Amino acid sequence: MGLSDIRESIAGIRGADYADLYASRGTSHSVKYEDGRMDTLSSSQYEGLGVRVAMGESSVYAHAIGTKMSDVNAAMAEASDMSGLAITRCKGEGSLFEGAIRPMPPIETDFLRELDSSLRSECRYLKQVTFRYSASDKSVLIVRGDGSLAEEERFYTSFAVFVVVERGDVVETGYEVRSLKQGLGDFWSSSGLSRPDSPRNIAHSAMERAVKMLDARQCPAGTMTVLLDGRAGGAMIHEACGHGLEADIVQKDFSTFRDKLGAAVANPVVNIVDDATLRGMWGSYSFDDEGTPAARNVLVENGVLKSYMTDILSAKRGGLPLTGNGRRESYHDLPMPRMSNTFITPGSSSFEDMLSGMDSGLLVKKMGGGEVNPTSGDFVFQVTEGYLVENGRVGPLVKGATLAGNGPEALMNIEAVGRDLTLDPGTCGKSGQGVPVTDGQPAILIKKMIVGGADAENAA
């Protein structure tokens, strides 16, 4: 209702370099099951919109709860007051979306009690089991200053398991998650590029990792060759170089990759892609939150930096290609350049050859959280499952390990890239906003990394 009026109003703002309207509405269910009982069961609905007006280096943004034409006019009036620019009031009545918000089917939770009991019967060390199960349905509508219109309905489902095991005075944890851009009906039947896991397999993976860590010994510290298994997760690629390739970070001079387009930033065996078009992946979309169609963007090709990730304003500011990476958490927020599905593409080396070529070092099968300084590229990541390697053979399991280094240096130190790509979901935080992303890599061999460990006496 009234979309033609909105187009004319947005396109007719004199003195604005760019303007748009973003509207969304949705519904969600979430379940937290802990300690053998339902801890939290919640459902929510929302709808709202925002009007953005950009002038030079500054933008004003006004948002309103609701998606009726009266809400559109209220946001436009506020944007006009803040910007000092005249914005024509829209005519018409009704809502930007047709019909009422469609209710979602409830989440089936009966299996959680059975799964909890099964895990506890199989492992005497199990002290705590937590399941988090959520699903959401989000409708998005964007009207841009050029008059174009974009609409999409986005379904998301996620299932995560966290376990705590205890033996004597030793306590360890395990975590596993499956998250896809799919509705509840397709979530367990479709695999996409992700592993075809069942709830039981996910839970067992988390529990088995925790139990194994009970027998792990302290990791020695030192500079080592590190082999990252594809299943280790893409945290290093996401944090150590991904954020540094977002155009707003580059343009604020907060990135170590500033002024590096066309330059070698990694070993020639490294290719890095951000691809929002992958079907069903957690970070995928048909178009971004500015209405730009999703794309497969090559960031690094044969070690050479080819592209930054841009939104509309950073592309205009830097004379850069528009890559479709303008994302926002909700209608409350301004968009900014963000990753979608970011990964190192498969190479030609086998895992066996990379392992057998290591005289000594660390095999990392799973990584946890970490921190990175995008300005310097320095990072620290936790290793949640790692093994010492001696003479090309996998040795003892170790705990307390961290990986420290510098993103650009680590990219240059990658000697080989494996053949099998693994993608893992996550939530990326930036400027107080969280958006769904997927990160990944095949196995990669890094010839020199600083490994932090508790066993200082046996430092490598």
CA 45 – CA 51 distance, rounded (Å): 21
**Higher-confidence position of 123 and 457:** 123
Residue 18: is its pLDDT beyond 70?
A: yes
Closest CA to 73 of 95, 91, 98: 91
In this prediction, residue 28 carries a pLDDT of 97
In this prediction, residue 194 carries a pLDDT of 42
CA 30 – CA 135 distance, rounded (Å): 6
Cβ contact 394:363 at 8 Å: yes
Q: Which two tokens stand for residue 139?
A: 């409708």
Closest CA to 186 of 135, 140, 138: 135
pTM for this entry? 0.94
Mean pLDDT in residue range 319-329 = 97
Q: Which two tokens stand for residue 208?
A: 């088995």
Task: Look at the chain and count its residues.
Answer: 460
Q: What is the 3-state secondary structure (H, E, C) of the chain?
A: CCHHHHHHHHHCCCCCCEEEEEEEEEEEEEEEEECCEEEEEEEEEEEEEEEEEEECCEEEEEEEECCEHHHHHHHHHHHHHHHCCCCCCCCCCCECCCCCCCCCCCCCCHHHHHHHHHHHHHCCCEEEEEEEEEEEEEEEEEEECCCCEEEEEEEEEEEEEEEEEEECCEEEEEEEEEEECCCHHHHCCCCCCCCCCCHHHHHHHHHHHHHHHCCCEECECEEEEEEECHHHCCHHHHHHHHHHHEHHHHHCCCCCCCCCCCCECCCCCCCEEEECCCCCECCCCCECCCCCECCEEEEEECCEECCCECCHHHHHHHCCCCCCCEECCCCCCCCEECCCEEEECCCCECHHHHHHCCCEEEEEEEEEEEEECCCCCEEEEEEEEEEEEECCEEEEEEECCEEEEEHHHHHHCEEEEECCCEEEEEEEEECCEEEEEEEEECCEEEEEEEEECCEHHHCC
What are the residues facing 59 on neighbouring strands? 54
Q: Which two tokens stand for residue 118?
A: 């099964």
Residue 190: is its pLDDT beyond 80?
A: no
CA 453 – CA 451 distance, rounded (Å): 6
Residues sharing a CB contact under 8 Å with residue 360, sequence separation 6 or more, in sequence order? 224, 225, 388, 389, 390, 391, 460
Closest CA to 143 of 290, 281, 304, 306: 290
Can you give the residue ranges of every domain in the chain?
Answer: 3-213, 217-458
Residue 324: is its pLDDT beyond 70?
A: yes
Q: Which two tokens stand for residue 102?
A: 């469609």
Closest CA to 63 of 45, 51, 77: 51
CA 457 – CA 460 distance, rounded (Å): 9
Share of the chain above pLDDT 70, in %: 97
CA 397 – CA 174 distance, rounded (Å): 15
In this prediction, residue 233 carries a pLDDT of 83
Mean pLDDT over all residues of the chain?
93
Q: Per residue in 94-105, pLDDT tens?
A: 899 988 888 888
Q: How confident is the model at residue 197 (pLDDT cuts 50, 70, 90)?
A: confident
Residue 456: is its pLDDT beyond 80?
A: no
CA 85 – CA 87 distance, rounded (Å): 6
Residue 39: is its pLDDT beyond 90?
A: yes
* CATH code of the domain occupying 3-213: 3.30.2290.10
Tokens 């090309």 found at: 392
Angle formed at CA 210 by CA 157 and CA 439, multiple of 5 degrees:
40
Residue 22: is its pLDDT beyond 50?
A: yes
Mean pLDDT in residue range 149-154 = 96
Residue 459: is its pLDDT beyond 70?
A: no
Residues sharing a CB contact under 8 Å with residue 396, sequence separation 6 or more, in sequence order? 216, 217, 387, 388
**Higher-confidence position of 371 and 337:** 337
Residue 460: is its pLDDT beyond 80?
A: no
Q: How confident is the model at residue 455 (pLDDT cuts 50, 70, 90)?
A: low
Residue 192: is its pLDDT beyond 50?
A: no
Residue 199: is its pLDDT beyond 60?
A: yes
Residue 241: is its pLDDT beyond 50?
A: yes
Q: Per residue in 262-312, pLDDT tens?
A: 999 999 999 999 999 999 999 999 999 999 999 999 999 999 999 999 999
Residues sharing a CB contact under 8 Å with residue 210, sequence separation 6 or more, in sequence order? 163, 164, 165, 172, 173, 174
CA 74 – CA 87 distance, rounded (Å): 11
CA 30 – CA 106 distance, rounded (Å): 9
Identity (one letter) of the amino acid at 80? S
Q: Per residue in 398-419, pLDDT tens?
A: 999 999 999 999 999 999 999 9
Q: How confident is the model at residue 373 (pLDDT cuts 50, 70, 90)?
A: confident
Cβ contact 368:381 at 8 Å: yes
Residue 191: is its pLDDT beyond 60?
A: no
In this prediction, residue 458 carries a pLDDT of 57
